Chains A and B, each alone.
Chain A
Amino acid sequence: MSTSMKIGYYPGCSAKGSSLDYELSSSEVCRILGIVSSEIDEWNCCGSTPAHAVSTELSAALCTRNLVQATKQGADIVMTPCPSCLSNLRHARERMQNPEFKKRVDELLDEPAPEVLPEATSVMQMIGKLCSAEDIKSHVRQSLAGIRIAPYYGCLMSRPAELMNFGDPENPTLMEELLAACGADSVLDFPLKTECCGASAGIPHRPLTSVNSGRILDVAVKMEADCICVCCPLCQMNLDLRQKQAERQVNAKFGIPVLYYTQLMGLAFGCDPKTLGLNKLIVSADRIVDRIRALNTARKEAQGGNAA
């Protein structure tokens, strides 16, 4: 694993609030895998929806400041768990290459931005880049084998394709690869993995969010998934916190746990569920935890039996 690269960590607002468990679990997984990063000093909002809906320049200025802060502390690359933050950081870096645009943004900043800004990547891509399947496998204590997982990326992680560089925009597979390295052998071919959860309509038009999230939950349940695996704080909130709303909207009962991929990886690495923030989930993931334990114990006994 290469460690020459200095990584600046950009948590984004969710990580400190609604998706505290995402930050807990991803920092735990990174720690175990030996991925060292330092949080960007005095980072600010990424300029997501409220800002970029009003002004592209304002959004870019906010992002640029974060990237400049990272440069100041010597980061070669910026890493963030949140797809929405990632999208904005990448868009800003791309747009700042246009001199006319940069001029307008520089006016909003204390001092003009440097010509070259560091690249941004997701925690997931960073793990995929730095750790081989073998590396990950070497840390697995409790295999995820036997757990039926519906991988769900949300709409942002892979789009727009030419900017996000995340494999096929309609069928990304990195999450599946990481889960497979953790022993997961029942990851579903989830057809709605890149469909919109309705997050941006969450406040202006709540029923739409419930319809969109309801469809995703419905198909996952019909495919007999044990849990949904996500990588976006907003998706997680819509599928988990608002699961009851979705149930009322589509008139069904789901009760399906929605975990971050880092929480599932952490469970595979044998971490204490509490350090992974599993207690923060609305739909309890206890039965997933129990099932992983039970399946692993059963496998061990079977192996032991065979050996004897």
Chain B
Amino acid sequence: MRIGVFVCHCGSNIAGTVDCKAAAESALSLPDVVYATDLMYSCAEPGQAAIEKAIHDYALTGVVVASCSPRMHEPTFRRTVERAGLNRYMFEMANIREHVSWIGKDKVANTNKACELIAMAVAKLRNDRPLHSQSFDVTKKVLIIGGGIAGIQAALDCADGGIPVILVEREPTIGGKMAKLDKTFPTVDCSACILGPKMVDVAQHPNITLYACSEVEDITGYVGNFDVTIRKKTTYVDWDKCTGCGACTEKCPSKNVPDRFNENVGLTTAINIPFPQAIPKRASINPDYCRKLTTGKCGICAKICPTKAIDYERKDELINVKVGSVIAATGYDLMDWTVYEEYGGGRYPDVITSLQYERLLNASGPTGGHIKRPSDGKEPKRIVFIQCVGSRDKSIGRPLCSGFCCMYTAKQAVLTKDHIPDSQSYVFYMDIRAAGKLYDEFTRRAVEEYGTEYIRGRVSKIYPDGNGQLIVCGSDTLLGQRVEVPCDLVVLAVGINASKGASHLAEKLRISYDQYGFFLEGHPKLRPVETNTAGVFLAGVCQGTKDIPSSVAQGSAAAAKVLSLFARDKLENDPQIAHVNAARCVACGKCIRCCPFGAIREEEFRGQLKAKVIDTVCQGCGLCTATCPQGAIQLSHATDNEILAEVNQLCQF
């Protein structure tokens, strides 16, 4: 074998604390190394050209680059060696930046460690074998989970690109949280007016199939070929027959049903259509409150329905679809703010969430757009907004910033003044985070034009004074004094979690999630839409807090990823996967049980049962190789021999 070693300076990133020249010279003494040099920037065009030239000039059959993390540039250099005619797996990287130069200042020790890492990479390369991908067909259809604004945008962009879309929404209507908002910042334009047309487009687009009131039950398969089972939950209404006329909702006698769409600030009927612009505009029955379903006596809606769409016997349906890619756009839910006992723990009716306040402001909300406080229906004159309730609060284990509360609080203060001109709003805040386009200007308007009083400090206590008012006690940290604000209504800017059940979905999708349930992106900066599972993309708040413009942008970005994936008719698998040595396999089945991807099955091989890896499903995680008691499964490009060669190289003293 003829190996070339290239030691990168990375400007001064590496060369500052590693003697790159000496490291390259020491590599020349390693077996099979016929050429070694140092390069200023090996990833830049001249650097790559130098590597290609050396491959030709010295007839190299393998290359080691000692530079940054392989997460950064392994794909870059694999392409470089491939251009020069080598197999892309005849390449190894030694990470002498993150693992050496950035973490130590002792140049002698660093150089020594760099030399050892290079020697290990050479030892592994001497055991490497060329690997080749296999190609497979792609199902050009995408599943989008979640019909909020991010999912809607992704669905429309994919559908416009000619890709059939399956859009699954858990609630009876699409629209998500944005459909509940009254106005949007910083332009104060009507949320329903800008969202509504997009919702209608979803309903009318020939490439989009919408399953509302549905959830993803199960997903198997791999990029290009996912098998999805969707559970269409029964609504007790045949939606093919229902015309959304609403006659049933008018006659339903069960009228004290908490209205989930209105965040439980109002009541609705047991059979209902969430809101006038709902898509699909179909009725559904809440079985917990339906008299027919709970007591067996009623059936008025079935009698009144002009299309005979009501069916109390209707059951859940399971639908199977095949897709090539998945976009998760499951959004968020509010955290349980009732842990704040100092704010009444949910016991005071006039302490409400900002999402509830949106419904009070909204013309299609339970109060017809007139702000009335829940306890007695009176119009509040003094309103206190409290920010960071469940955000940036380590005392309840939530250090995260929810991102958009500063802006919507300013918006709600502005709208309050518009609704009730003789009102006074107070905002308790920690910092005003208004970093978007026109955002800071907007919060200034709330203060300067709308007279909102901003008080920098936390609220320690809210209590009813016994006369129908609430007293909000807090500190004004700018004046350094205690403040008490008597008011009629308190609105809490409650922090957000990933949507309820997000972690279960993540496990079905085999993607990672953090402690708040937010899905993990492939790279926080460079792969914000991808996940670590090929073919699964993210859009909107399910990945982390964002406002509407960012959610829309990410929805479009995810769609672009799907379209570029589907631009190819065939996909290639990664050949760094597990292989079974049938001669050593004893068919114990441990690998089958431990594989998180269901990529191993039992197969008959010359009359005996043996484990068999399905090439296209295996993700190369290596669990099976660690589990196999016989050492019969080996992971290509990380075989026992390759790993042991590295260890032996390091431990030869």
Task: Give residues in A with beta carbon < 8 Å to B.
Answer: 168-171, 189, 191-192, 195, 218-219, 221-223
Contact = CB atoms under 8 A, between A and B. Distances in A.
Given A189-B347, A195-B461, A171 B341 contact: yes
Contacts of A222: 465-467
Contacts of A170: 340-342, 345
23 contacts: A168-B341, A168-B345, A169-B341, A170-B340, A170-B341, A170-B342, A170-B345, A171-B341, A171-B345, A189-B347, A191-B344, A191-B461, A191-B463, A192-B463, A195-B461, A218-B465, A219-B463, A219-B464, A219-B465, A219-B466, A221-B466, A222-B466, A222-B467
Contacts of A195: 461
Given A168-B341, A168-B345, A222-B467, 12 more contacts: A170-B342, A170-B345, A171-B341, A191-B344, A191-B464, A192-B463, A195-B461, A218-B465, A219-B465, A219-B466, A222-B465, A222-B466
Contacts of A223: 466
B460 to A, nearest CB: 9
Contacts of B463: 191-192, 219
Nearest to A171: B341
Interface in B321-345: 340-342, 344-345
Nearest to B473: A195
Q: Is the interface of A mostly helix, strand, loop or mixed?
A: loop
Interface centre among A169, A191, A192 (most CB of B within 10 A): A191
Nearest to A169: B341
Contacts of B340: 170
A255 to B, nearest CB: 16
A168 B464 CA distance: 20
Interface string B65-82: 000000000000000000
A258 B191 CA distance: 54
Interface string B437-475: 000000000000000000000000111111100000000
Interface residues of B, number: 13
A222 B340 CA distance: 24
Contacts of B345: 168, 170-171
Q: Which 3 A-B pairs have the closest CB atoms?
A: A222-B466, A170-B341, A191-B463
Contacts of B347: 189
Contacts of B467: 222
Contacts of B465: 218-219, 222
Nearest to B461: A195
A221 B466 CA distance: 9
B394 to A, nearest CB: 13
Contacts of B461: 191-192, 195
B461 to A, nearest CB: 7
A171 B341 CA distance: 6
Contacts of B466: 218-219, 221-223
A171 B461 CA distance: 11
Contacts of A221: 466
A191 to B, nearest CB: 4
Contacts of A189: 347
A218 B463 CA distance: 12
A268 B459 CA distance: 39
B343 to A, nearest CB: 9
Contacts of A169: 341
A137 to B, nearest CB: 26
A198 B557 CA distance: 58
A221 B341 CA distance: 22
A117 to B, nearest CB: 28
Nearest to B465: A219
Nearest to B339: A168
Interface in B341-397: 341-342, 344-345, 347
A67 B345 CA distance: 37
A219 B473 CA distance: 15
A168 B340 CA distance: 9
Nearest to B347: A189
A231 B313 CA distance: 59
A228 to B, nearest CB: 14
Nearest to A221: B466
A223 B465 CA distance: 9
A279 B461 CA distance: 35
Nearest to A191: B463
A169 to B, nearest CB: 8
B294 to A, nearest CB: 31
Nearest to B344: A191
A170 B461 CA distance: 9
A177 to B, nearest CB: 16
Interface centre among B341, B345, B461, B465 (most CB of A within 10 A): B341
A218 B486 CA distance: 15
A55 B344 CA distance: 37
Nearest to A161: B395
A169 B465 CA distance: 21
Contacts of B462: 191
A191 B345 CA distance: 10
Interface centre among A170, A171, A195 (most CB of B within 10 A): A170
Nearest to B342: A170
A132 to B, nearest CB: 25
A219 B344 CA distance: 15
A113 B372 CA distance: 63
B474 to A, nearest CB: 14
A189 B466 CA distance: 12
A83 to B, nearest CB: 18
A219 B486 CA distance: 14
A218 B464 CA distance: 11
A169 B461 CA distance: 12
Nearest to B484: A215
A171 B342 CA distance: 8
Contacts of A171: 341, 345
A170 B462 CA distance: 11
A170 B347 CA distance: 13
Nearest to A219: B466
